[in-house]
Amino acid sequence: MIFDLKHKYRLWVWGILLVTTVLLLAACTGTRDSAGGNEEVGADQPAEKEILYYTCGMHPSVKVSMEDFEAGNDKCPICNMDLVPVYKEAAASSAAEEHGEQGMPAPEIKLSSRAQALAQVKTGQVGFRQLFKDIDTVGQLVWDERRLAYVAAWVPGRLDKLHVNFTGTEVDKGGPLADIYSPQLLTTQEEFLLALETRDRLRQGPDQEAAGHAGSLVEAARQRMLLWGISGSQIQKLEESRSAGTHMTIHAPIGGTVIHKNAFEGKYVKEGDNLFQIADLSRLWMEAEIYEHDLAHVSVGQHVEISTQAFPGETFHGEVAFIEPVVDPRTRSVKARVDVPNPQRRLKPGMYMNAVISVHVHEGMAAPDKDVWICTMCPEVQEDEPGECPECGMDLVKKPASAAGAVLAVPREAVLDTGTRKLVYVEHEPGSYMAHEVVLGPEAVAEVDGRRMRFYAVKAGLKEGMMVVVRANFLIDSQSQITGQAESIYSGALERGEEDKPPSKHIH
């Protein structure tokens, strides 16, 4: 009896051991199958992203290599924050955004009303305006070459008397300058008087042909004296007095100021020697420096406002008369000659002047030459016929015609120049901003409520009525550049898109 009980107990033990063994084998087999299945699934998953380097979300200029990071350099040397990895795909995407690849949508920035108030966001409207470009330049007053005259000796002789003794003397046209003694001129006068006497005597005789020849000699002598500078009135006096003078008076050909004198009493001169130089200072030239980037905007006939330190607060006016055809290789500029009236002789040659040339800007999108209807709630909506706004359903109103020559203009403060392109942030709805790449013309000014404000002429990228950010656009643009893990950390600075951002694991 006892033997049977022992035998049964052994059978039960061996059975339990057998069941346990089977269960363990089944579990091991399942584990291997599960592991194999996991390996297959893992093979289908994408490979781990390649890390290029580590950086700081607050200081993107910090770049730490993987070797240095694994060696323990895992903190930002500037703010001691934990460094975050930068992956190859993210870097390529950022580079593509930086270079503005085609087909990539512009990021939209949304700000709460509180964030707008903190950032002091301000917007302005794009519209058609008359733009003027002020070209500020400098120049120097010089003689008007068209109002210069040289007084030369027409016959050789000796200067016995000067009526103008010093440079700077004002003379009238026809006024006396000097008396010259010339033996040749004296001989010509005597020949003229002899021809007159012969002509008068032969006229009383029967030989009229000889009298005619004598008259021809008189005219030849008269013409010779005219060519030597003797005026017609002087010849008439000589004909009336019938007495040859030993000296001839040299007269001023124009009225003006004697700016050069090379005549002295007792000096012998040769034919052609310059004795005086006279300039009419009632009109001067200002030679203004026009640089290459402004050259296309300057043309003959434009009005110029001129000022000088000699007369502070006073403005003179002139007009562009000539533009030199050659660029100075040293200054990269061209001289423009400006006619400046100077009736009171207050302006002096040699003065330095400041000049402003106001040019009407025509570059850019021109205002429509026909009537258009717009929505007061959606200014960017424009229709050729009256009706309802397709956006809000309000009745369209007729837009007043723009001034002649107006072009589409955007405030200068709204433009962000990245070097390779120009961006403007447009407010599509309150608190929602999107970057628009624009093509701009020259910078110009316009009168707005009695003030001169600066604008850019718009060639493409914007429409009339758009509201653009003119203040805090740098802050908005900086937020749009934060991507990846740094975006989840720092986008809260402007309280944008909190519902879409994962919680941050960094504490700063």
pLDDT tens figures, 208-255: 777 778 888 888 888 888 887 787 888 888 888 888 878 888 889 999
Q: What is the pLDDT of residue 399?
A: 67
The answer to whether residue 199 sits within a structural domain is: yes
Which pLDDT score, from 0 to 100, does residue 107 have?
Answer: 64
**Same-domain check for residues 206 and 299:** no
433 to each of 104, 139, 425, how far by Cα in Å?
Answer: 17, 46, 6
Q: Kindly provide the b/e burial profile for residues 362-371, where b requires at least 16 CB atoms within 10 angstroms of the residue's own CB.
A: ebbbebeeee
- Buried b / exposed e along 138-176 (16+ C-beta atoms within 10 A): ebebebbeebeeebebbbbbebeebebeeeebebeeeee
Asked whether residue 507 is domain-assigned, the answer is no
The answer to whether position 482 is within a domain reads yes
Note whether 90 and 175 are same-domain residues: no
Q: The domain that contains 439 carries what CATH number?
A: 2.40.420.20
Do 245 and 322 sit in the same domain of this protein?
A: no
- Residues 437 and 493 grouped into a single domain: yes
425 vs 161: CA distance, rounded Å: 81
* DSSP SS3 for 84: strand
Q: Is residue 192 assigned to a domain? A: yes
251 domain residue, yes or no: yes
State which residues form the domain around 57: 51-98
Domain edge (last residue) among 247, 279, 311: 279
Distance of CA 154 to CAs 162, 185, 235, 249, 449, Å?
Answer: 16, 10, 16, 12, 66
pTM recorded for the entire structure:
0.56
Looking at residue 506, its pLDDT comes to 39
Give the distance, in angstroms, between the CA of residue 80 and the centroid of all CA atoms in the same chain.
45
Question: How far lies 483's CA from each of 31, 80, 425, in Å?
Answer: 42, 21, 18
250 and 330 together in one domain = no
Q: Of the candidates 219, 252, 279, which is a domain's last residue?
A: 279
In a domain, 418, yes or no: yes
What are the pLDDT digits (tens) for 323-340?
999 999 999 999 999 999
Q: Are residues 162 and 266 in the same domain?
A: yes
Q: How many domains would you assign to the chain? A: 4
Residue 502: predicted pLDDT: 44
The answer to whether residue 317 is domain-embedded is: yes
Sheet holding 274-279, edge to edge: 148-152, 274-279, 256-261, 170-171
**Whether residue 158 sits in one domain with residue 248:** yes
Residue 416 phi, psi dihedral angles, 5° rounding = -110, 120
The closest of 393, 296, 396, 306 to 347, measured between CA atoms, is 306
- Going from the C-alpha of 395 to that of each of 92, 214, 378, the distances in angstroms are 48, 100, 11
Q: Any idea what the CATH number is for the domain that residue 292 is in?
A: 2.40.30.170
Q: Are 179 and 249 in contact (CB under 8 A)?
A: yes
- In this structure, is residue 388 part of a structural domain? no
Give me the residues of the chain with pLDDT under 50, please.
Answer: 1-3, 27-47, 92, 95-104, 484-486, 488-490, 497-508
